Chain A
Amino acid sequence: MTSESSIVEVTLESDLKNVEAAEEIVRRVTATAGFDEESQQQVEMAVHESMINAIWHGNKNDASKIVWLRLEVFNDRLEVRVRDQGEGFDVTGIPDPRSQTNLLKVSGRGIFLIRTFVDEFRVEHHAGLGTEVTLVKRMEQARSLK
């Protein structure tokens, strides 16, 4: 096992059309990295939701702002970073969408789905620079020991 990693990095305009472009990149990277189909779809969904958050909530759908997407494949995991130019958000205050009081709410499931589909989820806000979310998906033990 080596400590080498491979990196894919793109900068995208804040346009919802670019969410599908990001999904395509994720599909290729996760397939090449050797994730099984279910894991590929889970990462794709987590990145989809992160891109939506970055474009819609972070950058307020302002096409003059950008979203930075970076995928780094290690032997044992994939790390995805999505950075916007927004003000950030507090992940501690997000209610559980599965509770009876929230079940019929129209919104509020994005972060929950991200957390469900990846092994680690971190949010960092850098004043004046924007918000960066990091998603980590670990490979199955058998794959990572090959």
Chain B
Amino acid sequence: MSMKVTVRQVDSVTVVDVSGRITLGEGCTQLRELIREQIAKGNKKVLLNLADVTYIDSSGIGELVSAYTAVSNQSGQLKLLNLTKKVHDLLQITKLYTVFDIHNDEVKAISSFEKV
């Protein structure tokens, strides 16, 4: 199963619903281009909803880091929502859990952007 993304706007936050596999190749490229597009549009508050991500590999993790850095470099914020156990465990193992702002509730996640 390849990766699919749906973008929706909730207040000033761009919510990206990601499903499928974030792996080397198509998945990573698609995510990179999407983040680039959002930055170009001036959308600097990005919430990646990973609830339906079935698989992520080391390249996919790298792509999340790349997205985080790209948005942060534009004085924006990228946060993660609804990690599956697999993704959660991988972020723990790689110590990236300390880097990302991670949420389990979309409403709370969106309001956390507003506080900035």
Contacts and interface: CB of A to CB of B under 8 A. Distances in A.
Interface string A59-103: 000000000000000000000000000000000000001100001
Interface of A: 16, 19, 41, 45, 48-49, 52, 56, 97-98, 103-110, 112-113, 116
A29 B99 CA distance: 36
B61 interface: yes
13 contacts: A45-B57, A48-B23, A48-B57, A52-B59, A98-B94, A98-B95, A103-B96, A103-B99, A104-B68, A106-B62, A107-B58, A109-B94, A110-B57
Contact of B62 (A16, A45, A49, A107): A107
The 9 A-B pairs at the shortest CB distance, nearest first, are namely: A109-B58, A106-B62, A110-B58, A98-B95, A16-B25, A106-B66, A107-B62, A52-B24, A113-B58
B93 to A, nearest CB: 6
A145 B66 CA distance: 46
Interface of B: 23-25, 57-59, 61-63, 65-66, 68-69, 86, 90, 93-96, 99
A116 B90 CA distance: 10
A104 B57 contact: no
A104 B69 contact: yes
Contact of A97 (B24, B59, B94): B94
A105 B61 CA distance: 10
